[in-house]
Structure 1
Amino acid sequence: MAAAAEVQALLRFLTKDARIPLAEAMPKINALRKQQLNTPENIAKADEADVQSVFTDEKVLKQVINAAKRVSNPKKRASVQSSAPSSKRVRTELGPADDEALLAPPQTDVPLEKLEHVIIETNRAPLFLAFTITVLAYTHPEQPVSSRWSLAQGVVSAGAQSKAKYLGLTSGPTAEEDGWAQGQPKVKIMGREIAVMRRHVAGDVDGDATTPGNAFWALDLEALRKSNGPLIAGKDLKRSSGPPIHNATAPRNYLLKSMMIIDPDPALASETTEGNGAMAKKKSTHEVVRKKEEAAAMMLKAIDAVCKSWTSVLTPEQLDQRAQTWYTRVRPDVEQGQAGWGQRGQVRLADILRLRKG
């Protein structure tokens, strides 16, 4: 019971205080506990190198350390909350939704025949996110790219919350089970209905004239429950914290840092691999980030090739259903139960490309 309480407390700290998405936070729990970084106080007092061994992304590392120091010092926490400019907090919640180009999924020029030889290491959550964001371009093409990222994150988060409860990592009803989605419009994506709120979008998004009110944000039901609602779309945009939605930048950033190419085709080695041992340590942070983005781009291109090959014979609803099956067929093998949560494994792009319509 004590261990479960410790896990739940760490999870609350990472998701609520450090603002890390649930699917990204869960894999870090065991690593933090192994290093005795099991409380915000311990994280705040630890050497940065120890914390960095768990959070290798520099931006996330700063988020965690700053949150730990803030939580450990109530006076500092109160000061930060009262002094933060409201306009900045709104942008943090909403993301740069007005600049769709910045939110475009990464692309690669590597041809499909070379992708056949690529193996990518990742865990299940970002792979599911990759499938979802790709499929949405075909099943909901009327949605601007910012909405697709938000909707994809809504699906991934809902799945992660249900899985965490099933594994005993969290307790009590989810916000959805608690009724916070009642009365809200819903959209079915990858077999799961998620609550959404309408948003105003100017015309000509992604080359299409999107009618105002025809696009959506995915609601963050857990945030809505914490704020004790109600959600009033016309007024929430003016609140200092913004509406309780899944913003578009978080899932994109998560996907871009969650994949890495391993054992690639020799012809790609000099272009795309990170390397091992001492040589890898010498590479710049920028170079590592670029290679992770390239891995994500390759994954998305492989999935897109599959979706595109079926669009002429499947309806959007059928494509959504088929995509769920495709994901389960190629997802990495992991251990059963809690040990498998966040565990990384191999995904062969050849297995994905094999799903194309013959």
Structure 2
Amino acid sequence: MAAVELQALLRFLSQDAKVPLATALSKVKELQQANLATPEKLAKVKATEITTMFPDEKMAKVIIAAAKRVTKKRAAGDDSASSPKKRKKESLVSDDAPTSPADLEASVALPISTTPEDALAKMTVFSNRAPLFLAFTVTLLKHTMPEQPLTSRLSLAQAFISTSSRSRAVNLGIQTLDRADVEAEERLAMGQPSVVILGKEIKVLRRWGYEWKESGETGREGVEGSVLGGDQEAGAEHHDTREEIVEGSAEADAEEQPALWALDLEALRKSNKSDITLANAKAGNNSSLPIYTPQSARTYLLKSFDTPSDGKASKTSAGARAAIKEQNLGCLLQALNLLYESWAAALSPAELDKRTWGWYVKVRPEVEQGVAGWGGKNEIRLADILALRRQP
């Protein structure tokens, strides 16, 4: 099966039919041998005809239903069901843009938790690796870029995770990237300032004139100061390192460093101008260049941290499940805040940046190696995160 066909089939199974990626990967060869490697072909068979490959009858029915839905939409000239990017764009333009910087910052507020530490240490959440690393990165940036508002930190963190995930997918053969595409993105990035996050260069847009803090506020405090809580005093300790973060800003006053957006070079290479303009409006981005939106990062975090299953059939409603995930995210961020706060006074921002990968590796969920583990989920013990704190 060609790489493009393989990617299309895996995308359909994992995203449209909601089949766990590990299961989807194990069934690709069987589907190919049965000449059922496309939604159009799957739509023409009955669920009972694929139960030899998918013994779970419910899963088989969901796959056939998804195949029919995708096939119908494609026939009507609408392939949005098979295009996550199109679905994301539609959701972006369906909401009104915030009316002020304060409104924008408030709209992406992350959940907070005041769970006692002994209870926090007993908690376990269930997720895959990428959103956990995103949570690590957002928390890290509170200390390495304390002058940046939450919208900027979410955008920058999402850029780091997205570009890292793409590189990993290319290395595993899950995604292909032509040299011409790489060169095109490099040309588009020329002249843009950049920041370095966990050793990776992220191209940015400066948000000149973005006044997100209330009058009289300084440093990191302000709209986001009440969102995740905790380290209000840490920002003052790191002001002297800000000018090292953005290239070409060594001579600038750190207090004058503007808020930043992470530039989405892949979207810039692929997209059309109208799509960019509509998506940017909701994010509060006034330029014509596409960015990693804070809303996408926030949504990803909110939906990613479930509670481990007890093996019993769940009757929890969608709303209740979303509330559980939000609460779990709040507790995870609380544990990460406690970790970074314990080291903030002892380590420089650069040292915190260097240690983050090692901390993440020690607590990330265990999954299979290689392609089989891509997107795999497992338990994350908050006690393991708390154990990394600096001892007094």
1:345 to 378, 383, 392: 378
- Cα distance in 2 between the residues matched to 1:336 and 1:316: 32
Q: Distance in 2 between matches of 1:152 and 1:203?
A: 19
Worse-matched range after superposition: 203-212 or 248-257: 203-212
Higher Cα Rg: structure 1 or 2? 2
Alignment of 1:204-283 (within 5 A): 204=213, 207=222, 214-227=258-271, 243-262=289-308, 276-278=311-313, 280=314, 282-283=315-316
Q: Letter of the aligned partner of 1:214 in structure 2?
A: P
Give ranges in structure 1 of 5+ residues lacking alignment: 19-24, 55-60, 79-83, 263-273
Aligned letter for 1:258?
A: S
Question: Where does 1:137-148 land on structure 2 (aligned, <5 Å)?
Answer: 137-148=142-153
Residue of structure 2 equivalent to 1:6: 5
Aligned position for 1:187: 195
Structural mapping, 1:13-52, within 5 Å: 30=25, 39=38, 41=40
* 2:330 is the counterpart of 1:284: no
Structure 2 counterpart of 1:357? 390
1:212–1:71 distance in 2 versus 1, CA, 3 Å: farther
Shift of 1:225: 1.1
How much does 1:296 deviate?
Answer: 1.4
Aligned to 2:126: 121
Segment of structure 1 superposing worse, 176-185 or 201-210? 201-210
TM-score, structure 2 normalization: 0.67
- Cα deviations by residue, 1:42-67 (Å, 9 ceiling, x for unpaired): 688899x759968xxxxxx99x9987
Cα contact 2:40–2:68 (8 A) shared by 1: no
Question: SS at 1:261's partner residue?
Answer: coil
Cα pair 1:118 1:261 within 8 Å, conserved: no
Q: Which runs of 5+ in 2 are unaligned?
A: 48-57, 81-85, 215-220, 225-253
Q: Please state if 1:334 is matched with 2:379.
A: no
Q: Which residue is equivalent to 1:161?
A: 166
What is the one-letter code of the residue matched to 1:73?
A: A
The answer to whether the Cα contact below 8 Å between 1:186 and 1:196 also exists between their aligned partners in 2 is: yes
Which one of 105, 109, 122 corresponds to residue 110 of structure 2?
Answer: 105
Instruction: Name the SS for the 1:222 alignment partner.
Output: helix
Mapped to 1, the partners of 2:167 and 2:143 lie a distance apart of 26
Deviation at 1:259, TM superposition (A): 1.4
Structure-1-length-normalised TM-score: 0.73
Alpha-carbon contact 1:151-1:218 (below 8 Å) kept? yes
Residues 255, 42 of structure 1: alpha-carbon distance in 2 compared, 3 angstrom cutoff: farther
**Is the 1:93–1:247 Cα contact (8 Å) retained in structure 2?**
no
1:90 to partner: Cα distance: 6.8
Deviation, 1:327, is 0.7
**Is the 1:334–1:340 Cα contact (8 Å) retained in structure 2?**
yes
- Deviations 1:64-108 (CA, angstroms, capped at 9, x unpaired): 99876544422x579xxxxx9xx9887469975742112122112
User: RMSD between aligned alpha carbons?
Assistant: 4.4
Q: How many residues are matched?
A: 318
Find 1:317's aligned residue among 321, 338, 350: 350
